[in-house]
């Protein structure tokens, strides 16, 4: 198993990107992608060959806690090398109606719900968070700097 590091595309997304820019296939239609939260350990668990949220290594929060994936809302890829992409606004989950556990990763995927959603990228949180009942959980808006918001590069 190859594990993933912060801000890295899953193999599924790398294949999608390469197939699109080399015109092997047409890119998916423009639309929203979503940020989920995962309790997977910081190292040695997330498998970069996972194709969907159903993969055993993903460990997403349960919806029974009031949790739902949030719209990621990224900027256009920056004119730089490496080009990066990041969320433009604060992202907030909750309020939680039961304690959902400790989140370690943000996982970007292509559907608001369901384990059939394809995974795009994984982002290691700068510090883990364990929200309590009634809490909401906020992530900072990105700035293009590493460690601020959910930033991904090819």
Partner 1 sequence: MPKSIKSDFPLANAQPGDEFVYTHPEEAGYGAHALGQPLTAEMTELDLQHGMIVVVVEMDRETGWPLVSWTDTQGIGRITTVDPGNLALFVPSEPAL
> Site residues (CB under 8 A) for partner 1?
63-71, 89-98, 111-116, 132-136, 138
Partners of 106 in the β-ladder:
37, 123
Residue 124 CB, nearest approach to partner 1 (Å): 23
Give the nearer residue to partner 1 in terms of CB position, either 30 or 64: 64
Task: Report the residue number, 141 or 154, with the smaller CB distance to partner 1.
Answer: 141
CA separation, residue 50 to residues 13, 43, 89 (Å): 10, 15, 27
CB-based contacts of 23: which residues, under 8 Å, 6+ apart?
Answer: none
For residues 130 and 121, give the distance between their C-alpha atoms in angstroms, rounded to a whole number.
22
Q: How far is the CB of 108 from partner 1 (least distance, A)?
A: 15
Nearer to partner 1 by Cβ, of 26 and 132: the residue is 132
Residues 154, 147: Cα–Cα separation, whole Å: 16
Closest separation in Å from C-beta 107 to partner 1: 15
């Amino acid at each position: 198993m190859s594990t993933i590091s912060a801000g890295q595309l899953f193999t599924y997304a790398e294949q999608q990107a390469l197939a699109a820019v080399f015109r092997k296939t047409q890119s998916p239609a423009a639309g929203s992608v979503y940020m989920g939260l995962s309790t997977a350990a910081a190292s040695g668990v997330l498998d970069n060959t996972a194709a969907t949220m159903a993969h055993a290594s993903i460990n997403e929060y349960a919806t029974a806690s009031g949790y739902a994936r949030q719209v990621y809302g990224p900027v256009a890829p920056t004119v730089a090398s490496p080009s990066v992409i990041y969320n433009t606004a604060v992202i907030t989950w909750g309020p939680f109606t039961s304690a959902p556990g400790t989140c370690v990763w943000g996982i970007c995927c292509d559907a608001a719900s369901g384990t059939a959603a394809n995974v795009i990228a994984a982002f290691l949180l700068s510090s883990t968070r364990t929200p309590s009942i009634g809490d909401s959980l906020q992530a900072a808006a990105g700035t293009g700097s590493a460690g601020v918001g959910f930033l991904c590069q090819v």
